[in-house]
Amino acid sequence: MVAPFDWSAYQATLDNLFHREGDAYPAGSNEYEELKDFVARLAKFRAAQAKRGVEESTSADAEAADRLGIPAKFDTRYRVNVGLITDHKRRAAQHRGGCSLPGERVEEYKQMLVLYEDFRQKRQFAKLLKLQTDRAALPISSFAAEITAAVESSQAVVIAGDTGCGKSTQLPQLLMTSGFKQIAVTQPRRIAAVSLCRRVAFETLNEYGDEIAYKIRFDSTRGRGTKVVFLTEGVLLREMVGDPTLKQYEVLVVDEVHERHLSTDLLLGLLKGILAERPDLRVILMSATIDLARYSAYFGNAPVVQVPGRLYPITVEYLPQQPDDEKAQSSAREGGKRRERRGAQRIDARPYLKILERIDQQFPAEQRGDMLVFLSGMQEMTTVADALRPYAAHTRRWVVLLLHSALSVEEQDKVFDIAPDGVRKCVLSTNIAETSVTIDGIRFVVDSGRVKEMTHDVAGSLTQSLQEGWISRASAEQRAGRAGRTGPGHCFRLYSQTDFASFPEFTTPEIRRVGLEQLVLQILALGGGDPRSFDFLDPPPPESLEAAVRSLVSHEAVRAAPSYLEGGREHLVLTPLGEVLSGLPVDVPLGKMLVLGSLFHLSGPVVAMAAALSVQSPFIRLPDGEEGDEARVARQSLRSEHGDAFTLAATFGRWIAIKRGRGGDDSKASGKWCKRHGLEEQRLYEMAKLQRQFQDLLTESGLLKKARGGGMGGGELRRDPLKRKREQQQRRDAQAHLHELQRKRDRDRGRKVLKLSEPLETEPEPEPEPDPDDGAPPEPLDIRSLELKLTVDLEALAEATGRTLGRNDVNLLKVIIASGLYPNVAVPDPNNSQRRESEALFHTRHVADARLHPASVLVGAEVPPTAREVLVYTTLLETHKLYVTNLVRLPALPALLLTGQRIHTTPDCRRLLVDDWLLLRIKEAPDVAQHVVKTACELRASVSKLLRIRLRSHGPAAKESAAAAAAADAPDWVQELVESVRSDEEVYSDDLADRLAQLLDTTVSYTCERIQPQHVPGQFARSKPPNPDRDSAAAPLLRAARAALSEGDQSAPEEGVQVAPFLRWGSLEPFESPFVGHSVHMRKHWQCPVCGEKLLMNLNEIEEHLEAHEGESKKEMFERAAERADHGKGGPDGVRGLAKQAFNGGEESESLEGEGVRVPVQQAGETSGEVENRKTMGDDVGMQAGSAEPEKRETVSAVQRKRYVCEQCDSKVYLFTPPQVLQHKRTHK
């Protein structure tokens, strides 16, 4: 037998002749690797064919062929309809030393390339034929005419189809064939938008064109020829800011509307209003599980198209898990509730391993079919993966993959690759794979029935809780449907059928469980009217909406404007600050940080911090072992003692400096650096893009000057027209090169075959980067670096983020962070010094005993937070414990004075109560305490003034005459304060920044403590406002400051005076009573003798209630009281006397110590004789222990008294002890 020719021995020569960059099959591409295998097989086949040809061919055949003028033997090239143009002859001539391959072999190899191209095309045509056959078999195909008719006749259409019917991929194609040219399809997640775009592009043969595109945050493939664009709901809402009626689109498809995200509900409400303005617009709502009647009615009885049935059947099997603790559990459902309560219980991976074993036993390996497992979170996924990987490595029949938004794009794309022959994929995912994302080949679904959702406790603690709970029945059906898309499926539900029946029908809308601040801002910015009257599909809870409004008002983002309609209530409008915040794609606190950072020329560090806090942390969880220990040591150089925001900013700055090295394209060095420090570089790329986005938005709002360079570096080139033109050309060339690289990446990416030889059991976390020592960086990294160069001016960014921060800079950054994040403040527990670091407790206003998040740099800090410090945080996260996350530490006194929303002080300002939960005691002379408070007031007023100036708005004019009159008698320093507040002179931000920073370095001695809610009332003064005769300096100060700050509350209560919107002077008791903490225990049941209302009050609260009746004359009040008490008009003298009488003589009264002597009081309906009876019986219900003869009076406990109804006294009710009952009975004998 003739041996086949060994082409691999000449591979270097062949690469030089036929496989250079720009050729049909460049070296390193997928086609190139497949071509090498094709050539080897073809050579082997030809060698076998040549042996048979020697035995069978004859000279007669050759003579006949020569006589007829045809080839002596058939060549397959004669039926190939393609050709291949190459430049191999010129390259061979240029090759030094000549070509090592004979000329005939070179021509033979070229013929093989033609045959390979023919093979590829036939295979592609076969795939397309199968694809078209599969598309025609989809259930939605038979409803094409009905859908088209509904869209043409109605503005809104509702389509409900079972999972796998093809609605997400086929409807856009159907709309294109119907003549629509501008189609937008929204998806709830970025990964869904990208994957659907690629699928539809493949089916429409537009993989390398721009007719089918996607547009997500930081990335877009949209071009001039785009007809269908897949985009996220958030991106579409942002487009509506510049295009309120969406004129650029003809059809809007809102897919997966059942998920009910905040953006979904807002989008539906806005689209409902747009339809009234644009009769030509069409809106289509789609979902597999949807309340058809409700959505149809919301859009004016829109037509409904139902697409029943799946393409393949799905078998559902319930496998309820028996609880481990039989005493605590009686059913699987109760077990789920117990797991919710405990939270920290580790997931049991054994049921998932048993299912793998069962599949291996029941289904032959030749029957392809992968498995998709739905779990509640990343921790559960990691636990199950660690349990399954040893089995997968041992059997070599499984590849375990993870699908989670926290993973890099490269890791997420692996789930779409193909497993080797005889091997199945096991994809562990959260509910991200529940909708839209389709993984081909899924045959088995394992549904844990669990999901983690973020909820926002508005009414109580303002806590964001990542709570694990049961899914809805609609979600369970969605999950099961993942198994029946490409063939008959099997769904294993790890809960009972009884559990399933008890699930809610639909998932709770996000609008009912999260904070609504950003929603309110978006509604106002998009012209949706007052959010409180917005036409929601499901209105949010009123208390949540009002809490969001209050929060925005406190941040000065919205204000109430009077209504010009008769009888109309005030409506909400955006302030200039709110207009800026509504355009920033971040939460309100981070947006406010960005605005303040631009005021004080610290936009570089603040933008870096805001970008870092807006994405997932780049610090990945480190594995145990030597590699993890090395990363922990390396991270120490990035840690900042000031908090997490400073650490993230420093990390980002170091990474940018490395990226700028050696021409700004040092991808290899940055990859090594990230790997050494345990960082996910993809998050740093996202931070860089977000940083540029923030800068552009702040520039558009006028808060920042135009950046010196938008990318490619070299802002100084812009001054020279020729250099600027050259730079623009370089930028266009770079963009064209980037698009070419992206197309090449997409072409080469394809669907790869997963490698089974990887050490799966030793992968605790996916690596953020491949090993940089394996030669040149991989293509995706080059693309990301080029994108970064085109997006960001690395030189300017490195200068901004790499600047050395002085002490004043750090202090000012802390003020900016605190101003944005307040009221998210935590204080350390005073007993932390007696606890371990991991057990240290911190308290917020509404929640006690929270802990520092384990990922925080303050955990294990050399100097832990002290009692004089507060921590500001971004989120109060509840998992199995309460954690405060993303922390920054600040000195308590200046931080709270600069950020507190309601500050109450004593007349000497030595005691301050901040927002009714933090008590500050200044241990200095009164003039020092007053100076600190005065300085903080001036600085806050200056910041507000500077902000108004920069935002080109003007606050209400001060009443100069009133301010001047009020300040006439004030000391000199008071008049200076008034003048500074009233002054219209320009505020210099640099000087203001220095003064703010210096305030944080105050050396004033003070303490800060958290006080319990029941102790708060006792802090406040119960007397009238301070007497000007007693404190001659105080009254002019209060009058002057209140008049100058005309924004203060003019209808203030009696105690103290509202000096500023955030400060009330003199409202606290000038001294602290030792009984202040016991006022709550001194309350009693009492019935008002004037209005008859039954209340639970102490003596001071009774006084307040009676003073509320002083609208009546004293004569009328006492007449009413006397009439109710039936004791004539000789009542007590004044409110205090009436309060003491009522307090001491109530029917359910209790002894109150310390009130002096009191006498028996006539009760309602009681005659004077009965009073004397009680007196002679020693009834001390109305007597005070500690009177003139205490030794003769027996104090009777309230516990001993019982109600006694005397029938002989017309069924009157008494409160007697048993001896008193007997004595009373004797009086009737």
DSSP string, 588-640: HHHHHHHHHHHHTT-HHHHHHHHHHHHS--SBPPPPSSHHHHHHHHHHGGG--
CA atoms of 1014 and 1088, how far apart (whole Å): 23
Is the confidence at residue 1125, as pLDDT, over 70? no
Residues 6+ apart with CB under 8 A from 908: 926, 929, 930, 1070
- In degrees, to the nearest 5, what angle opens at C-alpha 1027 toward C-alphas 1024 and 1030? 140
CA atoms of 674 and 772, how far apart (whole Å): 11
Q: How far is CA 1000 from the centre of its chain?
A: 31
459-468, 604-613, 1181-1190: least confidently modelled range: 1181-1190
Among left, alpha and beta (phi > 0; psi -120 to 50; other), residue 311 is alpha
1021 pLDDT tier (thresholds 50, 70, 90) = confident
Main-chain dihedrals φ then ψ at residue 1068, nearest 5 degrees: -100, 155
The amino acid that residue 469 corresponds to is G
- In degrees, to the nearest 5, what angle opens at C-alpha 743 toward C-alphas 739 and 749? 140
Q: How many CB atoms lie within 10 A of CB 979?
A: 15
Give the HSE-up count for residue 530: Cα atoms under 13 Å, Cβ half-sphere: 13
Q: Which residues of 911-932 are buried (b: 16+ CB within 10 A; e: fewer)?
A: bbbbbbbbbbbbebeeebbbeb
Residues 6+ apart with CB under 8 A from 178: 148, 151, 152
Q: Who wins on pLDDT, 117 or 326?
A: 117
1215 pLDDT tier (thresholds 50, 70, 90) = low
Q: How many CB atoms lie within 10 A of CB 285?
A: 27
Give the HSE-up count for residue 1084: Cα atoms under 13 Å, Cβ half-sphere: 22
Query: What pLDDT was estimated at residue 217?
Result: 80
What pLDDT digit, counting tens, does each position of 367-420 carry? 889 999 999 888 899 899 999 999 999 999 999 999 887 676 677 778 888 888
What pLDDT digit, counting tens, does each position of 43-93 carry? 888 888 777 654 455 566 777 777 777 766 666 666 777 777 777 777 776
Q: Which of 20, 222, 21 is nearest to 744 (CA)?
A: 21
Give the HSE-up count for residue 1048: Cα atoms under 13 Å, Cβ half-sphere: 28
Q: Who wins on pLDDT, 345 or 1073?
A: 1073
Q: Which of 18, 268, 23, 312 is nearest to 156 (CA)?
A: 268
Query: Per the structure block, which two tokens stand in for 1114?
Result: 């004293």
Query: What pLDDT was estimated at residue 342?
Result: 38
Residues 6+ apart with CB under 8 A from 736: none
CA atoms of 658 and 667, how far apart (whole Å): 9
Beta bridge partners of 455: 465
Is the confidence at residue 877, as pLDDT, over 60? yes
What pLDDT digit, counting tens, does each position of 649-681 carry? 999 999 999 888 744 445 678 888 998 999 988
Q: At what angle do helices 667-677 and 779-791 cross, to 10 degrees?
A: 100
Q: Is the dihedral of CA 206, 212, 215, 220 positive or negative?
A: positive
CA atoms of 474 and 467, how far apart (whole Å): 19
Is the confidence at residue 1025, as pLDDT, over 90? no
1213 pLDDT tier (thresholds 50, 70, 90) = low
Q: How many CB atoms lie within 10 A of CB 1055?
A: 18
Concatenate the DSSP letters of all residues of 474-538 into one string: HHHHHHHHGGGSSS-EEEEESS-HHHHHHS-SSPPPGGGTS--HHHHHHHHHTT---GGG---SS
Counted residue by residue, the chain has a size of 1229
Is the confidence at residue 643, as pLDDT, over 90? yes
Residues 6+ apart with CB under 8 A from 56: none
Q: How many CB atoms lie within 10 A of CB 1092?
A: 10
CA atoms of 379 and 404, how far apart (whole Å): 11
What's the rounded mean pLDDT across residues 1114-1122? 55
CA atoms of 732 and 665, how far apart (whole Å): 18
Q: Which of 262, 217, 211 is nearest to 238 (CA)?
A: 217
Query: What pLDDT was estimated at residue 1121?
Result: 56
The DSSP call for residue 674 is: H
What's the rounded mean pLDDT across residues 142-146? 92
Concatenate the DSSP letters of all residues of 1120-1166 into one string: HHHHHHTS-S---SHHHHHHHHHHHH-TT----TTS------PPTT-
948 pLDDT tier (thresholds 50, 70, 90) = confident
Q: Examine domains 139-307 and 314-512 and report if their fold is the same.
A: yes
Query: Per the structure block, which two tokens stand in for 527?
Result: 């012209």
Q: Is 1090 helix (H, G, I), strand (E, B) or coil?
A: coil
Q: Are 946 and 989 in contact (CB under 8 A)?
A: yes
Percent of the chain at pLDDT > 90 equals 29
3-state secondary structure 334-386: HHHHHHHHHCCCCCCCHHHHHHHHHHHHHCCCCCCCEEEEECCCHHHHHHHHH
Q: Which of 1151, 613, 646 is nearest to 861 (CA)?
A: 646
Which CATH architecture does the domain made up of 139-307 adopt?
Answer: 3-Layer(aba) Sandwich (3.40)
Is the confidence at residue 321, as pLDDT, over 90? no
Query: Per the structure block, which two tokens stand in for 401?
Result: 């993959």
Q: Are 1214 and 1228 in contact (CB under 8 A)?
A: no
Query: What pLDDT was estimated at residue 732?
Result: 72
Q: Are 705 and 629 in contact (CB under 8 A)?
A: no
Q: Who wins on pLDDT, 61 or 490?
A: 490
Q: How many CB atoms lie within 10 A of CB 640?
A: 19
- Report how far apart, in Å, the C-alpha atoms of 557 and of each of 592, 944, 957 are: 9, 12, 20
- In degrees, to the nearest 5, what angle opens at C-alpha 34 toward C-alphas 30 and 39? 145
CA atoms of 219 and 530, how far apart (whole Å): 33
Residues 6+ apart with CB under 8 A from 568: none
Q: How many CB atoms lie within 10 A of CB 271?
A: 21
Q: Which of 704, 696, 716 is nearest to 602 (CA)?
A: 704
- In degrees, to the nearest 5, what angle opens at C-alpha 246 toward C-alphas 241 and 247? 125
Domain covering 314-512, topology:
Rossmann fold (3.40.50)
Cβ contacts of 850-855, under 8 Å, gap ≥ 24: 850/826, 850/876, 850/882, 850/883, 850/884, 851/881, 851/882, 851/883, 851/884, 852/883, 852/884, 852/887, 853/877, 853/883, 853/884, 853/885, 853/886, 853/887, 854/883, 855/617, 855/619, 855/885
Give the HSE-up count for residue 759: Cα atoms under 13 Å, Cβ half-sphere: 5
Is the confidence at residue 1081, as pLDDT, over 60? no
Percent of the chain at pLDDT > 70 equals 72
CA atoms of 520 and 578, how far apart (whole Å): 10
The amino acid that residue 160 corresponds to is A
Beta bridge partners of 219: 216
Query: What pLDDT was estimated at residue 398?
Result: 94
Rg, C-alpha atoms of the chain: 39
Strand 1063-1065 and strand 156-161: the pairing is unpaired
Query: What pLDDT was estimated at residue 1202?
Result: 67
607 pLDDT tier (thresholds 50, 70, 90) = very high
Domain boundaries defined on the chain: 7-132, 139-307, 314-512, 517-575, 588-820, 824-1065, 1083-1188
What's the rounded mean pLDDT across residues 550-572? 74
The DSSP call for residue 433 is: G
CA atoms of 22 and 86, how far apart (whole Å): 11
Q: At what angle do helices 103-137 and 11-18 cross, to 10 degrees?
A: 70
